[in-house]
């Protein structure tokens, strides 16, 4: 089986072109191929498959074999792979409110519906950055899902390992719990992360983010990703954190998220209520995985 190792800000996955390859048990493959000692190594496995509705379909399997609905860093890499490897023909100009348009676009089917992406092309005709219309954030607890009443979960108290924390919950097609703090480096993420991820409040588990506000339009975050643990970046989590910062009056709609692997540009656009995320996508190497 041919594979390609790619990453978005260090959030790395093994990508397989299922236009050419057939995988019978992707959940089992994800567990062995993601192992950083005995496998290729990565936060999981992403399949780039044919779609009847879009240019391609993306399926995401975490390192523990569980299937995720959406991955913001992953979908940028999928777009780069599709364009750079001529899997599908790119569409027309992609316009984003408040910035110059991108010269090409793709539509990718995900567990969160069909998303449109703008491609920033370099002089060698390769994708260097991708802007994703991540869609409208979901704030209703039942739809996130979170086992709490009300219309939103904003600054909701929760006790974890004897600590009282305030959380804001958002879904960007997958569930996120955001906790604001004064110093993200002081958070013992390897202890708090798995406890929050598997808390009884979250029937489908949850992605966990601790966020430090740096300036009016900048924040720094660290992530415990559902099914993968501590990761270098989480694109949907950065979007959720930007939305949470706006909901709690900490920041405006346009901001930059500083993640351990690099920066993402975020815009929760008032005109269409959609979150636009822009960041790089990088191909690392190709290889062959034995049967």
71 is catalytic: yes
Euclidean distance between CA atoms 62 and 30, whole angstroms = 7
Q: How many CB atoms lie within 10 A of CB 280?
A: 20
Considering only CA atoms, which of 256, 286, 253 is closest in space to residue 272?
253
Region of 144 (left: φ > 0; alpha: ψ -120 to 50; beta: rest) is alpha
Considering only CA atoms, which of 216, 217, 209, 213 is closest in space to residue 183?
213
Measured distance between the N- and C-terminal CA atoms of the chain, rounded to whole angstroms: 7
Given 77, 131, 169, 234, the catalytic residue: 234
| Token pair of 136 as six digits | 């409208």
List, in order, residues 6 or more apart from 258 with CB less than 8 Å away.
214, 218, 219, 220, 221
Q: Is the N-terminal amide bond of 145 cis, ω within 30° of 0?
A: yes
List, in order, residues 6 or more apart from 44 with CB less than 8 Å away.
13, 14, 30, 34, 60, 61, 62, 63, 68, 71, 227, 228
234 is catalytic: yes
Q: What is the dihedral of CA 31, 37, 41, 42, to 10 degrees?
A: 70
Longest dimension (CA), the chain: 54
Given 71, 77, 169, 239, the catalytic residue: 71
**3-state DSSP call for residue 26?**
helix
Euclidean distance between CA atoms 48 and 71, whole angstroms = 13
Active site residue ranges:
71, 234
């Amino acid at each position: 089986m041919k594979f390609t190792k790619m990453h978005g800000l260090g959030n790395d996955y093994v990508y397989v072109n299922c236009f050419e390859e057939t995988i019978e048990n992707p959940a089992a493959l994800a567990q062995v191929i993601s192992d950083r000692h005995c496998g290729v190594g990565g936060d999981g496995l992403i399949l780039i498959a044919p779609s009847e509705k879009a240019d391609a379909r993306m399926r995401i399997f975490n390192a523990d074999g569980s299937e995720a609905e959406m991955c913001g860093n992953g979908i940028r890499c999928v777009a780069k792979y599709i364009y750079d490897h001529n899997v599908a023909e790119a569409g027309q100009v992609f316009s984003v409110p408040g910035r110059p348009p991108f010269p090409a676009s793709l539509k990718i089917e995900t567990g969160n519906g069909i998303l449109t992406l703008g491609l920033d092309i370099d002089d060698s005709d390769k994708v260097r950055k991708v802007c994703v219309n991540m869609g409208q954030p979901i704030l209703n607890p039942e739809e996130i899902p979170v086992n709490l009443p009300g219309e939103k979960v904003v600054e909701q108290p929760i006790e974890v390992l004897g600590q009282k924390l305030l959380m804001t919950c958002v879904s960007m097609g997958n569930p996120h719990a955001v906790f604001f703090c004064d110093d993200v480096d002081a958070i013992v993420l390897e202890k708090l992360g798995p406890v929050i991820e598997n808390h009884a409040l979250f029937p489908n588990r949850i992605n966990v983010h601790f966020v430090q506000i740096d300036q009016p339009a900048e924040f720094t975050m660290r992530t415990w990703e559902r099914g993968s643990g501590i990761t270098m970046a989480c694109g949907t989590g950065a979007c959720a954190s930007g939305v949470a910062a706006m909901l709690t009056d900490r920041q405006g709609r346009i901001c930059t998220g500083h993640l351990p692997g690099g920066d993402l540009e975020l815009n929760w656009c008032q005109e269409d209520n959609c979150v636009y995320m822009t960041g790089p996508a990088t191909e690392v190497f190709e290889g062959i995985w034995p049967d």
